[in-house]
Copies of this chain bind each other. A is one copy, B any other.
Amino acid sequence: MVRRTKEEAARTRSRIMDAAVDVFFDRGVANATLNEIASQANVTRGAIYWHFKNKLDVFDALNDRLQLNFADTILADLRNDHPHPLLQLERMCADLLIDLENNLDKFKVLSILFLKSDYTGEMEPYLDLQNARKKQSIELFSEYFARAKKHKHLLADVDTRVLSMALLSYITGIVVDYLRDPGSLVMREHAPKFMRLFFRNLG
């Protein structure tokens, strides 16, 4: 059995990536071997080397597929003017956290990005990439908070840039703590409380 149709080949490729998610999650990116990924995907290493250059290239593909771009997801929702923009943001952040609990794939991929990669050597550029994306998010939030301030929805004395950095770090921390110990809290219950704590004093 060889030489599948193009569609089958594409499915093979995505099966390899799915397998990579599992293996990276279970064994860490550095420890994961192409053999493990191959057998998890029910192919041989040959198939992986056909579709990808090497392990890093697989990671690269995963990175693309994830679209960790908070920005894109959030921006769309932020575009339309909401009567109470801060509340809107608060809800969105909570939903984003709760989604981690329901979406196993997102949980695994975020685990890979935050816990299972060391970003040394050839992987360093991917950290830079994530940091660049984060800067984008900061700018986005800053602008958003600035608008809220103009509309008197936000206290005038807060530094919007510091505020958005703080919010993003807050979310990062909640995510990381959750990934490191998923049993320690129930997102559906805790996320709204966490967010309330942060937003209660801004209005």
* A contacts, CB < 8 Å to B: 26-31, 114-121, 127, 130-131, 134-135, 158-159, 162-163, 165-166, 168-177, 180-181, 184-185, 190, 193-194, 197-198, 200-201
Find chain B residues with CB under 8 A from A115 CB. Answer: 118-119
Q: Are B131 and A180 in contact (CB under 8 A)?
A: yes
CB < 8 Å neighbour of A177 from B26, B159, B172, B180 = B172
Closest B-chain residue to A197, C-beta based?
A: B166
Most chain B CB within 10 A, of A115, A173, A194, is at A173
Q: Are B194 and A162 in contact (CB under 8 A)?
A: yes
Find chain B residues with CB under 8 A from A121 CB. Answer: 27-28, 31
Find chain B residues with CB under 8 A from A165 CB. Answer: 177, 185, 190, 194
